[in-house]
Amino acid sequence: MKQELYYVHLAVIPVRAEPRDPAEIVTQLLFGELLEVLEEKEQWRKIRCLHDGYEGWTDEKLFKPFKGNKKQSHRLYANTLTINTPTGPQTIIKGANLHKIKGNTIEIGEDEYAILGTHTQNWKENLETIAMSYLNAPYLWGGRSIFGVDCSGFTQIVFAFKNIDLPRDAYQQAEEGKMIELGNQKPMDLAFFINSKGKVIHVGICLEDSKIIHAYGKIRIDKLDEKGIWVADMNKYSHTFSHIRRIS
């Protein structure tokens, strides 16, 4: 039986732990990202995100049927982009999956969206530049956008710009790639941090000079050492160091 796919046609949508509006947001999906439906309950649909296998509930009105090549993926580098939709102009945001750009048109399967105004897409931006472009984005549990992002949502969406599909949660990402010793890290290696029980609860992206960019109140840059993340303006360690992994 052929897998029936759908795509998000709005800028960003919530995926919840339960089929009700007050339920916890466990993740978000951005424009153009693909999903499949697993279960139905009134207007709610239990979905599986195609890029990471994450499951949760979202409203049936927030996505549309997708027909086309699911392998195409080009992420939006600009903070925002306005497109024309059947119901009028719509703004999409950084990280959106544009699938295919043909002239001044975004093609998502058989659907087309005209780009309004001028648009320059730099496909060659490196991951460090992309990560830095999220600086000062506010922390939001379950978030994956410039308007709110959590630690693993940040690392996941940054690597998505190079078509690297990381798992959704920090403890899952901690199993990806290969182990690197502290002191041998390079920019874009992932550093992981644990709680008092030894469980991975936080992740950040290594930068030059033993610095790390991560989500702590907001996307910020702090110092990384053998103890963890030193937050100078708070005069404390925010997280306890566990290990570093390199994603290839």
Are 171 and 119 in the same domain?
no
The CATH number of residue 162's host domain is 3.90.1720.10
For residue 116, tell me if it sits in a domain: yes
Are 118 and 165 in the same domain?
no
For residue 170, tell me if it sits in a domain: yes
Q: Which of 51, 99, 214, 239 is catalytic?
A: 214
Are 100 and 195 in the same domain?
no
Element (H or E) spanning 127, and its range? Answer: helix 127-132
Number of Cβ atoms within 10 Å of the Cβ of 162: 14
Query: What is the extent of the structural domain holding 177?
Result: 153-246
For residue 131, tell me if it sits in a domain: no
Element (H or E) spanning 28, and its range? Answer: strand 25-30
Per-residue pLDDT for 69 more than 80?
no
Find all residues with CB under 8 Å of 172, minimum gap 6, and list them. Answer: 152, 166
Tell me the helix, strand and coil percentages in the chain, rounded to 5: 10, 45, 45
Cα–Cα distance for residue pair 9/21, rounded to 1 Å? 19
Please give the pLDDT value at position 68: 84
Are 213 and 108 in the same domain?
no
Please give the pLDDT value at position 126: 87
Region 225-245 average pLDDT:
98
243 is catalytic: no
Residue 225 pLDDT level (bands cut at 50, 70, 90): very high
Please give the pLDDT value at position 72: 75
Are 120 and 15 in the same domain?
yes
The CATH number of residue 96's host domain is 2.30.30.40
Are 5 and 116 in the same domain?
yes
- Kindly report, residue by residue over 109-151, the tens digit of the pLDDT: 999 999 997 766 665 578 999 999 999 999 999 999 999 999 9
Q: Which of 99, 202, 206, 239 is catalytic?
A: 202
Q: Which of 9, 49, 51, 151 is catalytic?
A: 151
Are 116 and 15 in the same domain?
yes
For residue 146, tell me if it sits in a domain: no
- Kindly report, residue by residue over 171-194, the tens digit of the pLDDT: 999 999 999 999 999 999 999 999
Are 54 and 92 in the same domain?
yes
Please give the pLDDT value at position 105: 94
214 is catalytic: yes
Are 118 and 159 in the same domain?
no
Q: In the chain, how many domains are there?
A: 2
Per-residue pLDDT for 1 more than 60?
no
Say if residues 146 and 130 touch (Cβ distance below 8 Å).
no
Among residues 109, 92, 100, which one has the least CA distance to residue 73?
100
Residue 2 pLDDT level (bands cut at 50, 70, 90): low
Are 93 and 190 in the same domain?
no
Classify each residue of 51-67 as buried b or exposed e, where b means 16 or more C-beta atoms within 10 Å of its C-beta.
bbebbbbbeeebbeebe
- Kindly report, residue by residue over 91-115, the tens digit of the pLDDT: 999 999 999 998 899 999 999 999 9
For residue 134, tell me if it sits in a domain: no
For residue 179, tell me if it sits in a domain: yes
Please give the pLDDT value at position 123: 55
Please give the pLDDT value at position 56: 99
Per-residue pLDDT for 61 more than 70?
yes
Region 230-235 average pLDDT:
98
Please give the pLDDT value at position 120: 64
For residue 228, tell me if it sits in a domain: yes
Please give the pLDDT value at position 85: 96
Are 31 and 118 in the same domain?
yes
Residue 32 pLDDT level (bands cut at 50, 70, 90): very high
For residue 135, tell me if it sits in a domain: no
Please give the pLDDT value at position 114: 97
Residue 205 pLDDT level (bands cut at 50, 70, 90): very high
Are 105 and 191 in the same domain?
no
Say if residues 6 and 64 touch (Cβ distance below 8 Å).
yes
Take residue 43 and report the two structure tokens written for it.
Answer: 């207007």
Element (H or E) spanning 154, and its range? Answer: helix 151-160
The last residue of a domain, from among 124, 139, 169? 124
> Residue 87: CA atoms inside 13 Å, Cβ hemisphere, count?
4
Mean pLDDT check: name the lowest of 60-64, 116-120, 134-138, 232-236.
116-120
